[in-house]
Homo-oligomer: A and B are copies of this chain.
Amino acid sequence: MLRALKEDLLHDVKSKELRVIVISAEGPVFCSGHDLKELSTQDDVKHHTEVFEVCAEVMTLIQRLPVPVIAKVNGLATAAGCQLVASCDIAVASEKSRFATPGVNIGLFCSTPAVALGRSLPRKVALEMLFTGEPLSAHEALMHGLVSKVVPEDKLEEETMRISRKICESSKSVLALGKATFYRQMAQDLDTAYKITSQVMVDNLTLRDGQEGIEAFIQKRKPVWSHAQDKKK
């Protein structure tokens, strides 16, 4: 499953046509994490190690992709499923959605999900979830920053598509540069972050789509994006 997800995430990633990825599910569960049967074989430490390595690879891959990744959640997201939501760039959830890390119930603390949760939620909220296994409601998830938008269930498709379409109105190369820079600068102190991003702003302006955007703005017309990564000659 993790390997299939990884392959799907990487599918056509360099195509100009791929502009945004939406991760969604069918049925009442968004994702409930690892198949516990895979984790039960007592001696197979090697297999367990591989499972968690591939999992971490998929979660960090999301941030490395050149397009925005949206989690569209309509139901329960638990354990590595909750980690998946936390690892996306944007998350839109229906009001009935819930988020939990119930590993403690089966003696397996959600330590890998905690990496993503601890970076998406206030520490106390994350720890109460991890220590008790109890779910956050969609509105609590929004208040605390685990998701970026909550809508009624019958508006979930519409809102996700609205955000996706808005993203598709922009230049792919500009978004790719912006996303990569965002994660890069967040790992730095303030002064280094500004040094990196000031240079990126100048680079962005030399992109074909950077110049096209500003020219179009000044000429009061709609920009025509090339989505290309090359610089304006």
Measured in the bound complex, the distance between the Cα atoms of B107 and A55 in whole Å is 34
Chain A, residues 95-137, CB within 8 Å of chain B (1/0): the string is 0000000011111111110110011111111111011111000
Q: Which residues of B contact A125 (CB under 8 A)?
A: 145, 148
Q: Which of A2-10, A22-30, A167-175 contacts B (4 or more CB under 8 A)?
A: A167-175
State the main secondary structure of chain A at its contact with B: helix
Q: Which residues of B contact A200 (CB under 8 A)?
A: 109, 111
Residue of B nearest to A91 (CB): B124
Q: Is A204 an interface residue (CB 8 A)?
A: yes
Residue of B nearest to A132 (CB): B166
Within 8 A of B (CB), among A13-63: 36-37, 39-40, 42, 45, 48-49, 52-53, 55-56, 59-60, 63
Q: Which residues of B contact A89 (CB under 8 A)?
A: 124, 127-128, 131
- Of the candidates B118, B122, B148, B225, the one whose C-beta lies within 8 Å of that of A145 is B122
Chain A, residues 64-80, CB within 8 Å of chain B (1/0): the string is 00001000000000000
B108 lies within 8 A of A174 (CB): yes
Measured in the bound complex, the distance between the Cα atoms of B119 and A189 in whole Å is 10
Q: Which residues of B contact A215 (CB under 8 A)?
A: 40
A194 lies within 8 A of B124 (CB): no
Measured in the bound complex, the distance between the Cα atoms of B186 and A206 in whole Å is 35
Residue of B nearest to A184 (CB): B111
Q: Is A1 an interface residue (CB 8 A)?
A: no
A124 lies within 8 A of B115 (CB): no
Chain A, residues 184-215, CB within 8 Å of chain B (1/0): the string is 01110111011101111110111101111111
Q: Is A161 an interface residue (CB 8 A)?
A: no
Measured in the bound complex, the distance between the Cα atoms of B182 and A119 in whole Å is 11
Q: Is A138 an interface residue (CB 8 A)?
A: no
Q: Is A146 an interface residue (CB 8 A)?
A: yes
Q: Which residues of B contact A112 (CB under 8 A)?
A: 194, 197-198, 201
User: Contacts A89-B127, A115-B190, A132-B167 given; 5 further ones with Cβ under 8 A?
Assistant: A36-B217, A49-B198, A55-B198, A91-B124, A105-B170
